[in-house]
Amino acid sequence: MLKFRSYLTPYRVSVSIALILMLTELAVELALPLLMAKIIDEGILQEDLSLVMKWGGIMVGLSFLAFASGMINSFYAAHVSQSFGFDIRKEIFVKIQSFSFESLAKFPAASLVTRMTNDITQLQNTLFMGLRIMLRAPLLVLGSVVMSFFVNPVLASIFAVVIPLVIVFLIWIMKRGSKLFQIVQAKLDIVNDVLRENLIGMKLIKAYVRRDHEINRFSESTNSLKNATITGLRMIEASMPILLFVMNIAILFILWHGQSQVMNGNAQVGEVVAIVNYGLRTTAALSMFSFIVMFLSRSRASSLRISEVLDTKEKVKIEGSQNGFQFGEIRFEDVSFSYPDVDELVLKNVSFTIAAGETVAVMGGTGSGKSSLFQLIPRLYEVGFGKIYIDQQEITSIDLAVLRNQIGYVPQEAVLFSGTVKENIEWGKSDASMDEIERAAKAAQIEETIEQLPDKYETRIGQKGVNLSGGQKQRLSIARALVRKPKLLLLDDSTSALDVKTEKNLLKALEGYSSTTLVITQKISTAEQVDRILLLDDGELIAEGSHEELRKVSPLYEEIYQSQMEEGANVQRAN
């Protein structure tokens, strides 16, 4: 938690005010038993009513001051803790946005969600408690012991023995609690993960009638979370009776010893009352410790999880030449690649050159490394061995943002954001004019569909809006890539849901964008229309050339061609 103290710097004035108010409350609490002793010894026992009234009035005034301080302190504590949480949440969000895929792979999505919500809320609550009672409680214990010694050192000496023992015991509990609550947070990650998978895969669950299986899976994970939380809470709660028992024995000892001291004339009644009062306040403060211990244990676990995200170091080189590239000639030179923490190479010594403006299809069986090859170009992953050049510049020498800004990448799965059709297209270029948006939609063969939507470009999609078909989503994603007029267009199986005619029109329209275009495809109909084909097999580039050339030289390509021709003939016969 202390690690995050720099986040309090902007709020130091509010923190100082909250702490001063908390100290005011504390001072009043420590002064009240002294005043009570005065009222008993100098007022009641001396039968001096005016003194009782005078000190009684001061006690009421001080109590009101403590009440007002407490109220205002809560106001500042809430402001500081919420702002603190907001700032950390924002910083983590920014950090996650800067993550490479290698870093992202270290944190499951559900875990990042828990860290950004639940873990930060833990820190917020701890800070709020910190400004309200967490500091007050130990100071109240310390102040009560000091004041007790000031009132009567003999009677107070019991505190000097008991309280350090209690504190050591509480620290031990906190250390164990921290470990247990780390387990709790990890279990919460699992619950969130199951929940997320269920929400995403609801259609599949219904189609496969897997409702009961999923309910069981969810019950198991929540049950495990419940048990881990109970274990943590039980341990913390068990500390409370132990603490009360020890402190009550200490107070009984003070009463017993105090009585003989009063009899001997070594102490006054008011002094015994004051020390017992300090003892009771100390007990109340120490019993707050079990909550504090719980908050600290949880927040310790949470702060470790938050630090893990914030401290993640990126190895990716971001800065580089601001000039970018002009034409879009791509050259792979002996490129090999394996995913982080995986030994197996998914691309092996791949070399090829694609001239600027060319349209090239990348083909190969499933898992042959097509998507991996694509992801290396915008540097979503870094090349392991070998080099990739665009217009003779090694891609790592180009500034990462400049490089990516010149590439239109359409991933395999079309991702749309909640918002309008227009917003989804202009996501590719925030300052795109309406004319540019319409031209991109037209080229992506989605214009007609948009014109038929209730509010055309202003139609909301996704939640509370219209739903688009798989093919429509793909074309909208292509429009998003085209609107930025990329020098390099990467379509990762983005035309799979398009019929032959639409795909033909799309590829024709792309010519107007004069980009170098790479398209991953499984379809011979696409391969027939492009300038060249790269054929991958198990991470190796086994053939390259036009459709006609590959039919002659590559048995694998011919096999794919024949199987698709046969399929087509079967479909025709069935119709």
Contact positions vs ligand ATP (CB under 6 A): 339, 342, 346, 364, 366-372
Query: What is the C-alpha separation between 414 and 406, in angstroms, rounded?
Result: 20
Interaxial angle between packed helices 269-310 and 153-200, expressed in degrees from 0 to 180 and rounded to the nearest 10: 30
- Give the shortest CB-552-to-ligand ATP separation in angstroms: 24
Min dist CB 383 to ligand ATP, Å, is: 14
Residue 328 three-state SS: coil
Identity of residue 113 = V
Dist CA 300 CA 304 (whole Å): 6
The 3-state secondary structure of 230-289, one letter per residue: HHHHHHHHHHHHHHHHHHHHHHHHHHHHHHHHHHHCCCCHHHHHHHHHHHHHHHHHHHHH
Strand arrangement, sheet containing 330-337 = 347-354, 330-337, 385-390, 393-394
Query: Toward ligand ATP, which CB reaches closer, 370 or 429?
Result: 370
Residue (102 or 214) nearer to ligand ATP, CB: 102
Q: How far is the CB of 394 from ligand ATP (least distance, A)?
A: 22
User: Minimum distance between the CB of residue 200 and ligand ATP, rounded to whole angstroms?
Assistant: 18
Nearer to ligand ATP, 258 or 539 (CB): 539
Q: How far is the CB of 395 from ligand ATP (least distance, A)?
A: 18
Q: How far is residue 224's CA from residue 218's CA, in Å, rounded to a whole number? A: 10
* CA gap 289, 281 in Å, rounded: 13
Q: Cα separations (Å) of 544 from 349, 550, 556?
A: 15, 7, 12
Q: Is the CB of 222 or the CB of 371 nearer to ligand ATP?
A: 371
* Position 529, amino acid: Q
Alpha-carbon distance of 534 to 541, in angstroms, equals: 7
C-alpha closest to that of 72 among 27, 26, 25, 30? 25
**Sheet with 516-520: strands ordered across:** 407-410, 488-492, 516-520, 359-364, 532-537, 540-545
Closer residue to ligand ATP in complex, CB, 325/409:
409
Question: What is the widest separation between alpha-carbon atoms in the chain?
Answer: 119
Residue (369 or 428) nearer to ligand ATP, CB: 369
Q: Which of 286, 283, 300, 282 is nearest to 174 (CA)?
A: 300
**Residue 425 contacts residue 408 (beta carbons within 8 Å):** no
Pick between residue 101 and residue 218 the one whose CB is nearest to ligand ATP: 101
Q: What's the min distance (Å) between Cβ of 543 and ligand ATP? A: 15
Residue 238 CB, nearest distance to ligand ATP (Å)? 45
Q: Smaller CB distance to ligand ATP: residue 84 or 337?
A: 337
* Of residues 339 and 427, the one with the C-beta less far from ligand ATP: 339
Query: Which CB sits closer to ligand ATP, 391 or 540?
Result: 540
Which two three-digit tokens encode residue 377? Answer: 């170009």
Residue 285 Cβ, how far from ligand ATP at the closest point, in Å? 53
Beta carbon of residue 493, minimum distance to ligand ATP (angstroms, whole number): 6
What's the burial of 84, exposed, middle or buried (CB within 10 Å: 0-12/13-18/19+)?
buried
CB 359, min distance to ligand ATP, A: 19
Question: Residue 128 carries which side chain, given as an amino acid letter?
Answer: F
Nearer Cβ to ligand ATP (357/365) = 365
* CB 488 to ligand ATP: min, Å: 18
Asked if 511 and 482 touch (Cβ cutoff 8 Å), the reply is: no
Q: Please say which residue, 320 or 364, places its beta carbon nearer to ligand ATP.
A: 364
Smallest gap from residue 15 Cβ to ligand ATP (A): 44
